[in-house]
Amino acid sequence: MSTIEPAPSSVGQRGPAEHDLRDQIIQAARAHFSRFGYGKTTVADVAKAIGFSKAYIYKFFDSKQAIGQTICAQCLDKIVAAGEAGIADGRSASEKFRRFFNSIIMTTAELALEEELLYEVAAHAAEERWPSVVAYLERAETLVKEIIFFGRETGEFERKTPIDETSEAIMLVMQSFMNPLMLKQNLKGLPENPAKVINLILRSLAP
Amino acid sequence: MSTIEPAPSSVGQRGPAEHDLRDQIIQAARAHFSRFGYGKTTVADVAKAIGFSKAYIYKFFDSKQAIGQTICAQCLDKIVAAGEAGIADGRSASEKFRRFFNSIIMTTAELALEEELLYEVAAHAAEERWPSVVAYLERAETLVKEIIFFGRETGEFERKTPIDETSEAIMLVMQSFMNPLMLKQNLKGLPENPAKVINLILRSLAP
């Protein structure tokens, strides 16, 4: 990746990167989005909540969407970190695979349940393909490929199917539980339903 | 199934079952839902469109939802019929499996593209678990089981996994393309993406 491009989580941010005020703005915005919805919150509302002027907020973020993208990126970072911890905890490739997706799904569900209205941010993020979402999905697919490579090396998984085909199909299947809007329709079936789907995928990976 | 219970497609219907007027009401309602949305259409609007009184419509349907359910059931009947034709066209179990889901998905997508706003009816149907939707999903799962049985008999599919587990997982995986609200997010990937997912499922069914 080019070093000139900003990291996906810093798109639309301005001013010094390390700043307590930035965090304060994010916290206030998160509370507002969560309570009143992303669509209905204005930059002025967020400014009011922390006692600053709108102009001051614009020193840090160039739009409401830039704030939304930062929140989205923070959530996705948390989800990926949980997934990576899951992989580290698993011994076999199958165990890594199970723990990776379980951690991702449970963290996504927790975030969604905690702050119901963040679904709205997620809806915008998914529909407008925010850079943090694209980066997240690419990272997740890379991790899936690494698990498959590992499983192919240890002889746990078959080696015939092109790895791109395998990982792409897995990402398509798991979107029902990774995409928060689809997960919303699947909340009642947690954690049994993803477990059943993961079992099906692992059968498809068997040599 | 008890003979006393009405068929799912006739819930909330009144008066003689065979009646041109019933069809006329359905056609008018369909056009209205499709153009103005299910939520915004009233029974009075439908009555006006075909030049009858509201009271007359109530002789045939006891609510707007009853009309919506009939439209929904008609769509689902068409989708199942396409799926069954797909099964009949396939020779091997894999071919039956592929054709079944391809026919279901393409018919669902066609209905959705033709009448964009019927998505709204589908949203109500899915959320409120209308009887026709429940019956449709049960029928689809039964057909999936029949294909798996056939494949197990011919030796095309493995026989170790309990059939209920297999069919349930397949239905969970395929919901991304069967549920019109999820399919809406997948329209751009037709027909390649379901084909990739179907390939993954067929690998999971291999002996």
- B165-196 pLDDT per residue, tens: 999 999 999 999 998 888 888 888 999 999 99
> Has residue B70 got a pLDDT over 50?
yes
> Has residue B5 got a pLDDT over 50?
no
> Residue A6 has what pLDDT?
44
> Residue A10 has what pLDDT?
58
* pLDDT classification of A105: cutoffs 50, 70, 90: very high
> Has residue B1 got a pLDDT over 50?
no
In b/e form, how buried is each residue of A131-142, taking b as 16+ CB within 10 angstroms? bbbebbbebbbe
Q: How far apart are CA B176 and CA A186, in angstroms?
A: 11
Q: How far apart are CA A8 and CA B50, in angstroms?
A: 55
**Range A128-132 contact pairs with CB under 8 angstroms and sequence separation of 24 or more:** A130/A8, A130/A69, A130/A72, A131/A8, A131/A11, A131/A69, A132/A8, A132/A9, A132/A11, A132/A69, A132/A72, A132/A73, A132/A76
Distance from chain centroid for Cα B117 = 16
Instruction: State chain B's mean pLDDT as an integer.
Output: 88
**How far does the CA of residue B64 sit from the closest CA of chain A (Å)?**
25
Q: Determine the residue of chain B that is closest to A176 in CA distance.
A: B176
Q: Is the peptide bond before B131 cis (omega within 30 degrees of 0)?
A: no
B126:A172 CB<8 A: no
> Has residue B10 got a pLDDT over 80?
no
> In this predicted model, what pLDDT tens digit does every residue of A42-77 receive, in sequence order?
999 989 888 888 998 999 999 999 999 999 999 999
Token pair recorded at residue B14: 């009144």
Q: Is the peptide bond before A16 cis (omega within 30 degrees of 0)?
A: no
Residue B108 and residue B178 in contact, taking contact as beta carbons nearer than 8 Å: yes
Across the interface, of A126, A182, A203, the residue whose CB is closest to B204 is A203
A173:B126 CB<8 A: no
Across the interface, of A165, A176, A201, the residue whose CB is closest to B175 is A176
Token pair recorded at residue A1: 């990746």
> In this predicted model, what pLDDT tens digit does every residue of B11-33 receive, in sequence order?
666 655 556 888 989 988 888 88
Which of A101-105, A120-124, B61-65, B74-78 bottoms out in mean pLDDT, i.e. has the lowest? Answer: A120-124
Residue with tokens 């939802």: B65
B200:A204 CB<8 A: yes
Q: How far apart are CA A97 and CA A194, in angstroms?
A: 12
Size of chain A, expressed as the number of residues it contains: 207
> Residue A79 has what pLDDT?
95
* pLDDT classification of B6: cutoffs 50, 70, 90: very low
Q: Where are the alpha helices (DSSP H) in chain B?
A: 20-36, 43-50, 54-57, 64-89, 93-114, 118-127, 131-153, 163-178, 180-184, 192-205
> Residue A15 has what pLDDT?
58
Across the interface, of A165, A166, A196, the residue whose CB is closest to B169 is A196
> Which of the two residues, A110 and B154, has the higher pLDDT score?
B154
Contacting residues for B148 by C-beta, under 8 A, at least 6 apart = B93, B157, B163, B166, B167, B205
Q: Determine the residue of chain B that is closest to A168 in CA distance.
A: B196
Which of A150-159, A161-170, B66-75, B145-154 bottoms out in mean pLDDT, i.e. has the lowest? Answer: B66-75
B contacts of A185 (beta carbons < 8 Å): 126, 179, 181-182
Q: How many CB pairs below 8 Å do chains A and B form together?
A: 65
> Has residue A8 got a pLDDT over 60?
no
| Domains in chain A with CATH codes | 13-62 (1.10.10.60), 71-205 (1.10.357)
A181:B179 CB<8 A: no
Q: Which of A97, A160, A173 to mutate to test the interface with B (most CBs of B within 10 A)?
A: A173
A:90-149 residues touching chain B, CB 8 A cutoff: 126
> Residue B16 has what pLDDT?
55
> Residue A70 has what pLDDT?
92
Token pair recorded at residue A125: 């993020």
A contacts of B204 (beta carbons < 8 Å): 200-201, 203-204
> Has residue A131 got a pLDDT over 50?
yes
Which DSSP category does A9 fall into? G
**How far does the CA of residue A203 sit from the closest CA of chain B (Å)?**
5
B181:A179 CB<8 A: no
* pLDDT classification of A2: cutoffs 50, 70, 90: very low
B contacts of A172 (beta carbons < 8 Å): 176, 189, 193, 196-197
Mean pLDDT of A195-203: 97
B176:A181 CB<8 A: no
Residue A104 and residue A201 in contact, taking contact as beta carbons nearer than 8 Å: no
**Range B109-114 contact pairs with CB under 8 angstroms and sequence separation of 24 or more:** B109/B183, B109/B187, B109/B190, B111/B75, B111/B78, B111/B79, B111/B180, B112/B180, B112/B183, B112/B184, B112/B187, B113/B187
Distance from chain centroid for Cα A149 = 23
Across the interface, of A165, A179, A200, the residue whose CB is closest to B173 is A200
Residue B171 CB burial class (10 angstroms; 0-12, 13-18, ≥19)? middle
DSSP three-state, residue A61 = strand
Distance from chain centroid for Cα B57 = 25
Q: Where are the alpha helices (DSSP H) in A51-162?
A: 54-58, 64-89, 93-114, 118-127, 131-153
Q: How far apart are CA B138 and CA B142, in angstroms?
A: 6
**Does A196 contact chain B (CB < 8 Å)?**
yes
> Residue A97 has what pLDDT?
98
